[in-house]
Amino acid sequence: MNDFRDFMNNNQLMEVPNSGFQLTWWNKQVGDFKILGKLDRMLCNVNWSSTFPGWKYKVVSRIGSDHSPLMGGSISIPRPNNMPFKFFNMWCSHPKFKDVVMESWQEPLSGHSLYILTQKLKRLKAVLKKWNKETFVREWGCYGGLCDEHGGPRKSSGTAATAGTRFLETEVKNKMGQGQ
């Protein structure tokens, strides 16, 4: 094992991150005699790693051999620009939520009423995303609405965003009724 480590160090090699099965070898025995191990690895140097960022390998299922095949690749799926907006019920229970919405909503815009509505909703979406990161992710460590207003785990209610959407619908209707 020391010879292998020396070889890796002398050649400035590092192990590539992997996914799938962690163990690559099986002695083809069952029960108490079964032995699994990680004998196979994919290595790369710094040049390879910088040329192909995100390069990984996957340990796939064995077919006829006691070793699992390793499949390497650099597949990164970019995050789409048009991610759907997600409303989290926990926002409604935060004391500053209504103020954040009202502050965004009250900034004046000019144009046709439907144009004003769409622009205010777009602006509110951006404001709420930023506010969520600042308030819930940074302060409470919550990701994706997975905590309640006290920072504890959110209990699944089965009602996705009914309270929040009702609040926003009411606010939009009130503003539209006032001619804004």
Q: What is the DSSP string of 120-158?
A: HHHHHHHHHHHHHIIIIIIHH---TT-B-TTSSBPPP-S
pTM of the predicted protein model: 0.40
Buried b (16+ CB within 10 A) or exposed e, 115-137: ebbeebeeebeebbeebbeebbe
pLDDT (0 to 100) of residue 103: 94
Q: Indicate left, alpha or beta for 88 from its phi (over 0: left) and psi (-120 to 50: alpha).
A: beta
pLDDT at 152: 46
> Is the per-residue pLDDT at 165 higher than 70?
no
- pLDDT by residue (tens digit) across 109-158? 999 999 999 999 999 999 998 888 888 766 655 554 445 444 444 444 44
| Pairing, β 56-59 against β 18-20 | parallel
Q: Mean per-residue pLDDT for 156-179?
A: 52
* Whether residue 175 has pLDDT greater than 60: no
Give 56-110 pLDDT, tens digit per residue.
Answer: 888 888 888 888 888 888 766 676 777 788 888 888 888 889 999 999 999 999 9
What is the predicted pLDDT for the residue at 155?
45
